[in-house]
Amino acid sequence: MSKEFSSRLLAWFDKHGRHDLPWQLEQTPYRVWISEIMLQQTQVMTVIPYFERFIKEFPNVEALAKANLDNVLHLWTGLGYYARARNCFKAAKTIVEDYKGQFPCTLDEMMALPGIGRSTAGAILSLAREKRHPILDGNVKRVLSRYHGIEGWSGKKQVEDELWSYAEAHTPSDDSVRDYTQAIMDLGATICVRRNPDCQACPFTTSCFAKKTGRQHEFPASKPKKIIPDRETVFAIIENNKGEVLLQQRPPTGIWGGLWCFPEFSSNELMAGEIKKQFACKIKQQTKYKSFKHTFSHFHLKIKPVHIRLEGQVNRVNDEGLSQWVSPAENSKLGFPAPVVSLLKELNNKKVVLNES
C-alpha cells in the first residue's frame, strides 16, 4: 500500500508539482529551513516576497547569526508569529558557535535547535540532504487524515501518533525522498485544500477514504472551539514638536517580543498621569482614534489609540535605547507588529479614523 501511495504521488508530482519555488532553486539546509519556518501558518504566495527579502539580506547562516535582531524582526514584520523570527536568530547563533556554521546531520540534533520541531527537521533533512525522514505539517496532516479517514483532532497525542506512523510508512527511500516530501506538501497546498478539494485531479481519487465516503469536509477534525477572552489596551501615540512619535521596544519574550510599539496603558487616566510625570511639557492636543480589534491565538485585544501632541521642547530620560522617536514617514528598519504598522501608515497618510463618541 505504501509503495503504491508514494508511486502515485511521485507520478503526479512529475507532471503537476511545483518545481520552481524560490527555495527549490538551491536547496541548501539554510534556505529550506527559512522557507519551512516562514511557511508555518502562512501561505506560499505570501511567503515568497518575505523569503526573497530575507535571503537577500541574510544569504547564509553566518550572516543571520551576525545580524541585529531588530533587522531580523523588521524583515519579518507582517508575517506574524514573531517567536519564529527570534528562534531563527537564536538557532543561527547556535549553528555557527556549536557546529562551525554547518547544519547538524541528525534529527535529534536538529530538533534541539530553537523553533525546529520534528516535521521541520524532517523537511530540512529530506529536502536538503535527501535523507529518509517523514514530515507532518498541516498540509500532510490534511492529506493523510482524509486518505486514511483518521478521526479526531491532530492536536491529541493519539491522533498525532497515528498520523506520524502513516507518514513514516509512506515515506520512500533516500533516492526519491526529496521529491516525495515536496510532492505531499504540494498535493495538500494545491489539490487537497481545506475547502473544496479537487478530488478529480488527485492521484488518490479512487483510493481515498474521504472521497469514497463523501466525507472530505469532516477530515481533519477541527480543534475543539474554546472561547477566548477579550482584553483592552490604550496605545498612546505621543507626538513631539518635530512630528515624531514615541516607540518603545517590548521585552524580548512574550507577546510581540522584541518588537517596537506605542507605549501602552490600561486606561486613559493612567496614561495622562504617566505622561505628565515623564515629560516636562504640556499636552497641546489629545485625540481619540477609532478602536479596533487584534486577535491572538489565546485572546482578543481591543486597541484604543489616543494621539497626544506635546507642546514645546520635549525632554525624556534616556532608557538605554529602549525608546525611540520615529517619524511616521520614515522607512524605519525596526520590527513592528501589524497594528503599529497600520497606525504609522495611517498617521503618515493622515487617514486615521476618529472615535465616533
Which residues are identified as catalytic?
A: 36
Choosing from 192, 238, 334, 340, the residue that interacts with ligand SF4 (CB under 6 A) is 192
Cβ proximity to ligand SF4: between 141 and 211 the closer is: 211
The site map against ligand SF4 for 215-254 (x = CB under 6 A) is -x--------------------------------------
Q: How far is the CB of 219 from ligand SF4 (least distance, A)?
A: 8
Q: Closest Cα partner for 114 from 133, 128, 132, 97?
A: 97
> Which CB, 124 or 189, lies closer to ligand SF4?
189
Judged by CB under 6 A, does residue 211 bind ligand SF4?
yes
- Least CB distance to ligand SF4 at residue 21 (A): 21
Site for ligand SF4 in 3-32 (CB under 6 A): none
Q: How many residues in total does the chain contain?
A: 357
- Residue closer to ligand SF4 (CB basis): 220 or 305: 220
Task: Give the binding-site size for ligand SF4 (rule: CB under 6 A).
Answer: 14
Among 72, 191, 259, 343, binds ligand SF4 (CB under 6 A): 191
Give the nearer residue to ligand SF4 in terms of CB position, either 113 or 191. Answer: 191
Shortest Å distance, C-beta 215 to ligand SF4 = 9
> Does the protein bind ligand SF4 through residue 197 (CB under 6 A)?
yes
189 binds ligand SF4 (CB under 6 A): no
Residues 135-154 that bind ligand SF4 (CB under 6 A): 143, 146-147
Looking at beta carbons only, is 188 or 337 nearer to ligand SF4? 188
Residues forming the site for ligand SF4 (CB under 6 A): 143, 146-147, 191-192, 197, 199, 202, 204-205, 208, 210-211, 216
